[in-house]
Amino acid sequence: MNRSDRSKRLLRMVFLAMMVAVGVVISPILRVEGMCPTAHFINIVCSVMLGPWYSLLCATLIGIIRMSTMGIPPLALTGAVFGAFLSGVLYRASKGKLLFAVLGEVVGTGIIGAIVSYPVMALLMNRSGLTWLFYVPSFLIATLMGGSVAFVFLRQLCRNGVLPRFQAALGTQSYAESTSPLSSAAAIAALGVVLCIVVKVLDGALHPEAPAWGMVSNGIAAAGVLAALCYFVFQSVRKRTEAHD
């Protein structure tokens, strides 16, 4: 290992330690049991900056510290580790699409982590009155809140050219040149489908009397697909116009 590699590895360790510290400090913001939006912000930022394995380690360390010092139940782990890892995996699989990083956090924590939390809380914490979908609504809402902030934050860094410089300094893969309209449109459509699932889950969990909820969920999915199609057409036409110019 040469000096440059050692320097980048040390910088990754420092950045990881900083993310853990920040994650612990800001975790009480807007937190209720089963809902910690700031944790999802940290997960996505760490996934984009360092990759899935570092993000998983970061979420695990934050969860352990919160459980040992703040008296947080095991939700600190089940509500973070799955989304942290999946966010990093989808970000790299999509060649640097931030929407896929957010999508990984929403699916990993909002659905997988929420379902896993039921047996953990029921068996280890002896909580009664829980169901398999008990934590899904709050987890999904929290991931959408934290994910939205993370997306805006990282998108701004990307537009300013700061994100690829950070990734290069940390020695991680940079995807600044990945601007495929098709993959971005697919991410928009996938986000619309996820929002549709969120509404349907809330519908089943809260049992609203208004039948319009079913129409709203279908409308959100349709709007996501339509927005993706419009985005793809617009970006394709713009690229062709720029190429001719």
Domain chopping of the chain, boundaries: 3-178, 181-245
| Partners of 35 in the β-ladder | 32
Instruction: Take residue 118 and report the two structure tokens written for it.
Output: 């039921």
Residue 21: band (very low, low, confident or very high) from pLDDT cuts 50, 70, 90? very high
Which pLDDT belongs to residue 205?
Answer: 53
Give 188-238 pLDDT, tens digit per residue: 776 677 667 666 665 655 555 555 556 666 677 777 778 878 877 887 777
Per-residue pLDDT reduced to its tens digit, 42-76: 999 999 999 999 999 999 999 999 889 888 888 88
Residue 178: in which H helix or E strand, if any? Answer: none
Give residue 44's pLDDT: 94
Reported pTM: 0.74
How far is residue 86's CA from residue 243's CA, in Å, rounded to a whole number? Answer: 36
Distances (CA, A) of 5 to 9, 56, 171, 172: 6, 22, 8, 11
Residues 6+ apart with CB under 8 A from 93: 100
Give me 133's structure tokens.
């979908």
CATH fold for the domain made of 3-178: Arp2/3 complex 21 kDa subunit ARPC3 (1.10.1760)
Count of CB atoms situated within 10 Å of the CB of 214: 13
Q: What residue type is assigned to position 79 of the chain?
A: G
Helix (H) or strand (E) holding 171: none
What distances in angstroms separate CA 44 from CA 64, 211, 241, one per listed residue?
19, 35, 34
